[in-house]
Chains A and B, each alone.
Chain A
C-alpha cells in the first residue's frame, strides 16, 4: 500500500487529493489566493492531516493546473486537461466527452474508449462560458454563488439574454432587475446563455455520449441542468466535481 498526492492549482481554488494506491482517501479545497505555492502546501497538508499521514508518507506527487509549475515539491507536472481525462475515466469509464467549467476557462475533452485524449478545446479569452460568469451573476444579485443553482431550478420564465458575453450580460442583467425580473429568472437565463456557449464549444470536439460535467461549475445544479437540456440527455457529475483534476493527478502519480 502506498499514498499518492495530486495537486491542482487553479486560478480560483487549489485542490489536493490523496489516494491510497488508486483509492481516494481524502481531499482539500482552498482558495488559491495570491501565493500558489503556499496554497498548494496548505491544501496538501489539510488533505494529509485528515487521514493522519504526513508528506514523508507520500510516494509520488503530481501537480497540475494554472500554477502547477510553482509546486516545487511535486515530482512532475501534467496538464489539467490530461488530469481531468484521467480523473473522469477513473470515476465514469463510459464517458467520452468531458465538459470542464473552471473559474477562468471552460474546456471540452473528447476521450477514446480507453480514456485517452482524442482532442480537446478551450474557450477563447472570454469569460462567457466560465465560472467567472457565475461570480459576476452572484455579485450583481448580491447572493452567495453556492445558492445560484437551486434558485435557477425554481425559475418559470428564464430571461432571454441577447448576449453570451459576461461583460454585456452584466449590464443586461442590471437592466432586467430594474424592469422587475425575478432573480430566479435572471440566473436561469444566465445558465441558459452559458450552457449554449459551452455546448457550441464542445460541439467542436464532437459531442459523443456519455457526458460528464466537471470543475467548479459542475457544482451549480442549475448550470448542469441547462447543459443537460442542451444535450438532451443526462450527464455524469462527481460527488465533488471540483477535485477531478487533482484526483486524476493522484491516479497518474500512482501509475509512475
Chain B
C-alpha cells in the first residue's frame, strides 16, 4: 500500500509547483498519441534534451517516474516485478523500477496502468539512450527495456569526455571528444528523423539551445543566492527544484520557473528568512542521489539548525561564460562543447593541488564559497556511479583540504528495504554533535 508523506514545511513557494511539473511531464507522455506526437524514453544528463524538444518528441523520464514511485513509497511492486524476471536488487533501482513498470504495462496491453503513481508513463515510440561516463547502467538499460518492448527502436549514443589525469592537460584532447560527441548527436538527430518522419528544424534547435544556455545561467545565478546568511533555500528543496533543469531543459517553462525562484529567494534574503531558525550549521551535500522516500531527513537536519546551502547532486550546469565555450554556428557542436567543458570544469583546479581530484575540487570550491562546516555524502547502494567513489572522495578531501566532519549516509534511491530511519537519525545526531565540536575548535 502506498504511503503518502507530508510535504516539506520549509519549502519555497516556487518549489511547491514542482509536482505540477512532474505530473505534467508524465501526463504529456500519456496524451502524446492523441496529439500526434512521438514519445521517447529518455535518460537525464544525456545531452539530447534539446534535440527531442526541437523535434516535438515527448520525453518519458524513467528516473523521474521511479523517483515518484519511491517518494510515494509505491515502488516495491515494480521492483518485485523486475526481480521476478531475475533482475537483481543490486542493479540500479531506477532501471529495475521502470523495467518492472514496463513489464506490467505490456501485460496489460500497453495502455495506461491502473494504480500507477501519477498515471505512469506512456508507451514509448523510441528509446533514446546515451551510454556515457556518468552511469554504467546507461549502456544496457535501453536494451533491457527493449526486451519487453520488442517493436520499439533503440538509439544509444556515446557522449564521453576526457578522463582526468593529473599529468595531462585535457585541453589538448577535448576537441577530439567534442568532435566525437557532435557526431553522436548527429546520429541521434538522424535516428529521430527516421522514427518521427520529420526533418530537424536547425534554426529552432539553435533557438532552443540558446534558451538552454540562458536557463543554465539563470539556474546558477539563482542557486548562488543561497550563499546568503541565513540561506534562503537548502538541498531539501533543491532535490525538487532540479526538475525543470533536469527534465525540462530547453523549454520556456523551465526558464520561467527559475526566474520565479530567483525572485522568491531575493525576497527571502531581503526579509532575512532562512531555512532554519536559527541557522547554526552549514553543510554541503557532496555527492549521491537522495533516498526519494526519505526526503524528510533534510527537515530532520533543519530541526537541528543544520542547512544545506549547496549540493553537487543535480547541479548539472555552470555559468556559460565560466566554461569559455568556443564559438560555433553548429548547435550540436555547441551542445558537445558545453558537455565536455562542464564535465571537465574542475580539472584545471585539481591539477594544481597535488593528490586532488576534480570532484573533490568542486566540493572544496563549494565549501569555501558557501561557508560550509561539514560534508554529507549519500551512498545509494544500487547506484554504483555515485556509490563507488564516495569513500575515496571523502578521504581525498580530508587529505588535500582539511579534517572537516564528514558523514556518509547509506541507503538507496528507490529501494526502501535498505532504509532505517532510527539509524539514519542516530548518525545525523552524532554528526551534528561532531560539526558543533568542529566549529568550536575552528573558532
Residues of A within 8 A of B (CB): 66, 69, 77-82, 112, 116-122, 124-125, 204
Residue of A nearest to B406 (CB): A119
Q: Are B440 and A204 in contact (CB under 8 A)?
A: no
Complex alpha-carbon distance, A247 and B68, angstroms: 45
A227 to chain B, nearest CB (A): 21
- B9 CB–A CB distance under 8 Å: no
A sample of 9 inter-chain contacts (CB < 8 A) reads: A79-B433, A81-B430, A116-B437, A117-B430, A118-B405, A119-B405, A122-B427, A125-B410, A204-B391
User: Are A79 and B422 touching (Cβ within 8 A)?
Assistant: no
A125 to B426, CA, bound (A): 14
Contact of B433 among A66, A78, A124 (CB under 8 A): A78
From B408, B429, B438, residue with most partner A Cβ within 10 Å: B429
Residues of A within 8 A of B400 (CB): none
In the complex, what residues of B have CB within 8 A of residue A117's CB? 405, 430, 433-434, 437
A interface, by DSSP: helix, strand, loop or mixed? mixed
Q: Which residue of A lies closest to B426 (CB)?
A: A79
CA distance A122 to B441 in the complex (A): 23
Known: A112-B441, A124-B410. A80 touches B426 (CB 8 A): yes
Q: Roughly how many angstroms separate A78 CA and B418 CA in the complex, as a whole number?
A: 25
Q: How far is the CB of B390 from chain A (nearest CB, A)?
A: 11
Residue of chain A at shortest CB distance from B395? A204
The answer to whether A82 and B430 have CB atoms under 8 Å apart is yes
Interface size on B, residues (CB 8 A): 23
Interfacial chain B residues near A69, Cβ < 8 Å: 422
The docked-state distance in angstroms from the alpha carbon of A81 to that of B428 is 11
Nearest to B440 among chain A residues (CB) is A116
B403 close to chain A: CB less than 8 A = yes
Kindly state whether residue B207 has any CB partner on chain A within 8 Å.
no
Per the 8 Å Cβ criterion, residues 400-439 of B in contact with A are 403, 405-406, 408, 410, 418, 420, 422-423, 426-427, 429-431, 433-434, 437-438
Identify the closest chain B residue to A65 (Cβ).
B426
Decide: A118 and B391 in contact? CB cutoff 8 A.
no
- A118: B residues at CB distance < 8 A: 403, 405, 434, 437-438
The 4 A-B pairs with the shortest beta carbon distances in the complex, nearest first, are A81-B430, A79-B430, A116-B437, A79-B429
Across the interface, name the chain B residue whose C-beta is closest to A77. Answer: B429
Which residues of B have CB within 8 Å of A121? 408
State the total of A-B contacts with C-beta under 8 angstroms. 50
Q: Which of A112, A116, A120, A124 contacts B430 (CB 8 A)?
A: A120
B420 touches A120 (CB 8 A): no
Q: Which residue of B lies closest to A125 (CB)?
A: B410
Least CB separation from B425: chain A residue: A69
**Is the CB–CB distance between A125 and B427 below 8 Å?**
no
Rounded to whole angstroms, the CA-CA distance of A119 and B434 in the bound complex is 7
Residues of A with C-beta under 8 A to B408: 121
Distance of A204 Cα from B393 Cα, bound (Å): 12
Contact partners of A119 in chain B: CB under 8 A: 398, 403, 405-406, 434
CA distance A66 to B418 in the complex (A): 17
Query: A residues within 8 A CB of B405?
Result: 117-119
Interface residues of B in 199-246 (CB under 8 A from A): none
Please tell me which one of the listed residues A120, A124, A204 contacts residue B434 in the complex, with CB atoms under 8 A apart.
A120
Q: B residues within 8 A CB of A124?
A: 410
Look across to chain A and name the residue whose beta carbon is closest to the beta carbon of B437: A116
A50 CB to closest chain B CB, in angstroms? 29
B437 CB contacts on chain A under 8 angstroms: 112, 116-118
How far is A228 from B431 in the complex, measured between Cα atoms in Å?
A: 27
> With A81-B433, A124-B410, A125-B420 in contact, is A116–B441 under 8 Å at CB?
yes
Closest A residue to B407 by beta carbon equals: A120
Q: Which residues of A contact B410 (CB under 8 A)?
A: 124-125
B163 to chain A, nearest CB (A): 26
A117-B430, A118-B403, A120-B434 known; A66-B422 Cβ under 8 A? yes
Q: How far is the CA of A77 from the CA of B428 in the complex (A)?
A: 13
B431 CB contacts on chain A under 8 angstroms: 120
In the bound complex, residues from chain B placing their C-beta under 8 Å from that of A66 are 422-423, 426
A172 to B427, CA, bound (A): 32
Q: Are A80 and B418 in contact (CB under 8 A)?
A: no
- Contact status A80-B430, CB under 8 Å: yes
Bound Cα distance from A112 to B403, whole angstroms: 11
With most chain A CB atoms within 10 A of its CB, the pick from B391, B430, B431, B438 is: B430
What separation, in Å, do the CA atoms of A125 and B180 have in the docked complex?
42
Using Cβ atoms and an 8 Å threshold, which residues of chain A touch B395?
204
A46 to B434, CA, bound (A): 32
Residues of chain B with a CB closer than 8 A to A120's CB: 430-431, 434
Minimum CB–CB distance from B12 to chain A (whole Å) comes to 30
- Are the C-beta atoms of B433 and A82 separated by less than 8 Å? yes
Q: Given the complex, which residues of A lie within 8 Å of B423, measured CB to CB?
A: 66
Complex: A34 Cα to B109 Cα, angstroms: 48
